[in-house]
Amino acid sequence: MQLDSVRILDLSRLLPGPYATQLLADAGADVIKVEDTDAGDYARYTPPTTERDVGALFDSVNRGKRSVALDLKSGGGREAFYDLVAEADVVFEQFRPGVADRLEIDYETLVEYNEELVYCSLSGYGGTGPYAQRAGHDLNYVGVAGLLDMTREDEEMAPQLPGYQIGDLGGGLFAAFSIVGGLLSRELGNGGEYVDVAMTDVVASFSQAISHEALTGDNPRPGETALTGRFPWYDVYETADGRYLTLAALEPKFWTAFCEEVGREDLTDLHGTDDPAELEAVREELETLFATRTRDDWLDELSDETMTGPVCTPAEALEHPQLEARGLVERPDDAPPRVGFPALGSNAPEGRDESVPGHGEHTDELLAAAGYDADERAALRDRGAIR
């Protein structure tokens, strides 16, 4: 995928929006961070920091982008933004619903300057509904979508919720998908488009494995569905060294292979049972079995056909041979390591820019290209409209 001719004006900050546009920048898009003239994206200053003396989060999701600093509350800053919009393909914003309207940078206003514009809004709850104006973070979105309740057993587990950033990252991923979809739709002759992405909606979309039951009268609970711990052949088990191993033998052939390899052929015919006593007995047998060896000893012994795998720490995961073989973790010579674009393609951009932009570093460059001469830029800077 090469998006070299696509220009995106990105008004977002922190994680969800910048993650979305980092994916697009990695695919070759020209992403311009539109930051305010005060602090800009405050992920720049959020610890921990990298060797480049910027926040590690900022460093990870703002590479290869350019930065322009505009005061969109001022007439001069807003007019400069309109001139940039005229030459852009996409405007992406992450304000709470209504803020873009007050700043006069909403979709209806901007299509007057660029009728082919693809405009994407990303927010916690979307632009409509009773929660539209609520502030929120990941656990709020996951909770409203019902997935927090399906992935923990009690309140003590909430701070340790696996994948607790699925609202931010899932929302960012779907926003990137929506932007590319909007660009393709435009290329097919359908004109520009406005897309409203709610992180809560995206998280709810992840509930496909339990949504049918919930929509047809049942109330799926943790430990009571096929994928949340009901069956002992699809669960997580502690090993002798206090670490954990996954077993995901949903299909009978994988359960059979597992039972044969661990010498418990007597358990083979219990796969698929609904008898509570039998399910509990199998779980107890597996708990005892896995506790006899360390995690890595089990991994060395069990074959690829047993549907087992390690539960890794973040550090272990990012050093795992599988991710290394895929080249997912990038270690450039001139930049800190990071997790890169999560797909391999035969037409991927080469020689990506791994630099991160300074706050307003490209203001003069971009406004000059938009037709502002040095005197006009100086006047705007004197009025505080740009930085």
Q: What is the DSSP string of 198-212?
A: EHHHHHHHTTHHHHH
The overall average pLDDT reported for the chain is 93
Q: What is the mean pLDDT of residues 317-340?
A: 94
Residue 160, pLDDT score: 47
Lowest-pLDDT range of 111-125, 144-158, 227-241? 144-158
Alpha helices in 274-313 (DSSP H): 276-290, 295-301
Determine the pLDDT at residue 154. Answer: 52
Six-digit token string for 204: 């709810």
- Residue 228's pLDDT is 83
- Residue 263, classified by CB atoms within 10 Å of its CB into exposed (0-12), middle (13-18) or buried (19+), is exposed
Question: 270 versus 222: which is more confidently predicted?
Answer: 270
Identify the pLDDT of residue 223: 82
Residue 158: its pLDDT value, please?
Answer: 45
Which pTM does this prediction carry?
0.92
Say which DSSP state 256 is in.
H
Is residue 29 predicted with pLDDT exceeding 90?
yes
pLDDT of amino acid 144: 84
Tokens of 275: 């008898």
Main-chain phi, psi angles of 29, to 5 degrees:
-70, 150
Could you count the other beta carbons within 10 Å of the beta carbon of residue 241? 12
> CA 76, CA 385: separation in Å to the nearest integer?
6
Give the pLDDT confidence score for residue 225 in this predicted structure.
84
Amino acid at position 326, single letter: R
Per-residue pLDDT reduced to its tens digit, 354-369: 999 999 999 999 999 9
Check residue 153 and give its pLDDT.
55
pLDDT for the residue 151: 65
Is the pLDDT at 159 greater than 60, yes or no? no
Confidence at residue 138, expressed as pLDDT on a 0 to 100 scale: 82
Which tens digit of pLDDT belongs to each residue from 16-28? 999 999 999 999 9
Residue (of 260, 256, 209, 261) closest to 230 by Cα position: 209
pLDDT for 164:
58
Give yes or no for a cis peptide into 48 (omega within 30° of 0). yes
135-146 average pLDDT score? 82
Return the H-helix or E-strand segment holding 363. helix 363-369
Q: Which two tokens stand for residue 24?
A: 């697009």
pLDDT band with cut points at 50, 70 and 90 for residue 341 = very high
**176, 181, 187, 192: CA torsion to nearest 10:** -80
Angstrom distance (rounded) from CA 2 to CA 73: 35
Q: Kindly tell me if the per-residue pLDDT of 46 is higher than 90.
A: yes
Instruction: Enumerate the active-site residues.
Output: 168
Dist. CA 302–CA 294, nearest whole Å: 12
Residue 300: pLDDT band (50, 70, 90) is very high
185-241 pLDDT, tens digit each: 999 999 999 999 999 999 999 989 889 999 999 998 888 888 888 999 999 999 999
Residue 221 pLDDT: 86
DSSP three-state, residue 105: coil
pLDDT score of 148: 72
Q: Read off the amino acid at residue 25.
A: A
Percentage of the chain lying above the pLDDT 70 cut: 96
Strand partners, 66: 32
Question: How many percent of the chain have pLDDT more than 90?
Answer: 83
> 340 in helix, strand or coil?
coil
Q: Which of 136-145, 187-196, 299-308, 329-338 has the lowest mean pLDDT?
A: 136-145
What does the pLDDT average to over 168-184? 96
Mean pLDDT confidence for 167-180: 95
CB 78 within 8 A of CB 104: yes
Question: How far from 215 is each of 203, 290, 292, CA to CA, in Å?
Answer: 16, 37, 42
Q: How many CA atoms lie within 13 A of 181 on its CB side?
A: 11
The enclosing H or E element of 369 equals helix 363-369
Q: 40-49, 128-137, 218-227 — which is least confidently predicted?
A: 218-227
Lowest model confidence (mean pLDDT) among 108-122, 154-168, 288-302, 344-358: 154-168
